[in-house]
Amino acid sequence: MKKNIFICGLIGALALSACSKTKEEKGTEPLSCDNPQLSSEIHKSLQSAISSDIHQFVQRDGRHIVDIDKVLAAANELNVSFSAVELGKDSKNKSICNSQLNITVPASVWQQTQTYAPLVIGKTNFADHIKQQLESSGFTLNDNVFSKSFQYTPLGSSIKAGSATNPSTTLGSEYDKTSIQNVAVTIGNALLGYGVKDKVSIGGHIYNRDDAVKLVNNQHAQVQPETHLSQDAQTASAILNAKPVAVPVPVPVVPSNDTNAKSPANNAGNDISEHALQQARDNNVNANNVINRLWVNMDDTVRKTLRPEEHKWIAQKLSQCQTQAANAKNSAQAEYIRLQCDTKMTNERIKYLNGYSLH
């Protein structure tokens, strides 16, 4: 009888133990270093930091040779991965994932970045320039890969303490975010070379970026601009580069006894020679060609910012020049006065926009 009771008690104890163990197993999830979301999170952090940094660079850089959209597109192509991942313990005996974090720039992007870096950093050695910036972040650079020993908390959940007020805790999002921000700035600076525009303006001439690099590396390089400016356009170019020159627009001689010589309209007189009128036309065409090239090659972000102001200026120029031409005594004189006015205001605008272009 007693033996049967003992056996039944033993079986009951074992069953209770098994039940308790089953509950514990169900309440516990194994820790894991496999966290696909972590790569995505780091990638988004890199993109955000690079975006902020590149916008600040463009605002500071008076040359405006970098296309923001190209840099952001390159940042989107970065590949974030982990290697040599293993679950271990940190100095406080807490579970930790040890790994190597790799941030890879696509090979084609990296090659182009190095090629056009001189247009951003000058003749400074590109690799040394980047490695120097990496010293504080703990990352190293090998070809087109930025790497660092990296730790993060594993995925999993703690065992519930049997109380509804003590829920399980999900891990996996704790890591060194500061180092990610630091390396993002370095990568963003590196990608500036990739973002250099296809065409750049130097000294009033348009060069493709390959020739522009040659000029930076060797100021005596034998390269030709893609556009050859006429003498009049070179004068407008000089104005663009803030050089004190006057636009050579011939003014017809007015008799000394002309009592109405008070304005360009009156100074022009009734007779405008065909030669003088043609020169005024040529000067106006050249000035507008220069300002149009300047506008087209301006940074997209800056151009969008200036567009409302530009529309207002164009309307003002048309109104002012039409008002002056309205006092003319014939059509030739009216055209001459309008051209003189338009050229003068355009050259003044070129000088103003000079601060928004590479020169």
pLDDT of residue 161: 37
User: What does 250-305 look like in DSSP terms, one character per residue?
Assistant: ------TT-TTTTSHHHHT-S---HHHHHHHHHHHHHHHHHHHHHHHTS-HHHHHH
Q: Which two tokens stand for residue 289?
A: 């060609």
Residue 345: its H or E element: helix 331-353
Dihedral sign of CA atoms 167, 168, 172, 174 in order: positive
At residue 325, does pLDDT exceed 70?
A: yes
pLDDT tens, position by position, 158-180: 433 333 433 334 445 688 899 99
d(C-alpha 132, C-alpha 130), whole Å = 5
Q: How confident is the model at residue 354 (pLDDT cuts 50, 70, 90)?
A: confident
- Torsion angle (degrees, nearest 10) of CA 215, 219, 220, 221: -10
In the chain, the DSSP E strands lie at 29-32, 79-89, 95-104, 140-142, 145-152, 155-157, 199-202, 205-208
State how far Cα 75 lies from the chain centre: 10
d(C-alpha 289, C-alpha 49), whole Å = 39
Instruction: Give the other-Cβ count within 10 Å of 309's Cβ.
Output: 10
pLDDT tens, position by position, 270-304: 578 888 888 888 888 888 888 877 787 777 777 78
d(C-alpha 340, C-alpha 332), whole Å = 12
Residue among 263, 268, 266, 232 at smallest CA distance from 346 = 232
pLDDT tens, position by position, 5-40: 545 554 555 444 544 444 444 445 688 888 888 999
Q: What is the mean pLDDT of residues 335-347?
A: 90
pTM: 0.54
d(C-alpha 20, C-alpha 7), whole Å = 20
